[in-house]
Amino acid sequence: MEAIILFHSTNYAIWAQDLLKKNNITCKTIPVPRDLSSDCGYCVRTSPEDSNSAEELLKENDVEYDRVVVR
């Protein structure tokens, strides 16, 4: 299982990665899976366990994201 956080722009993916890592949430930027989005670039992968706290962190810091897909 994994949680994929999708963004409208890779600028926000990088920001999210920076923020999550600073808050000790394990994550990695990965190429945007084509089955989830047609956007270029990368998104952020984290664990399903961490996805709620990751979302909270992003909201708190106004890091806009498209959606989170747990699969």
Q: Does 13 bind another protein (CB under 8 A)?
A: yes
Q: Does 2 bind another protein (CB under 8 A)?
A: no
Q: Which amino acid is at 44?
A: V
Give the strand pairing for 42-46 and 3-6.
antiparallel
Name the strands in the sheet holding 67-70, side by side, starting at the edge strand that comes first in the sequence.
27-31, 42-46, 3-6, 67-70
Residue closer to another protein (CB basis): 49 or 67: 67
Q: Does 67 bind another protein (CB under 8 A)?
A: no
Residues interacting with another protein, by CB under 8 A? 7-15, 18, 29-32, 38-42, 62, 64
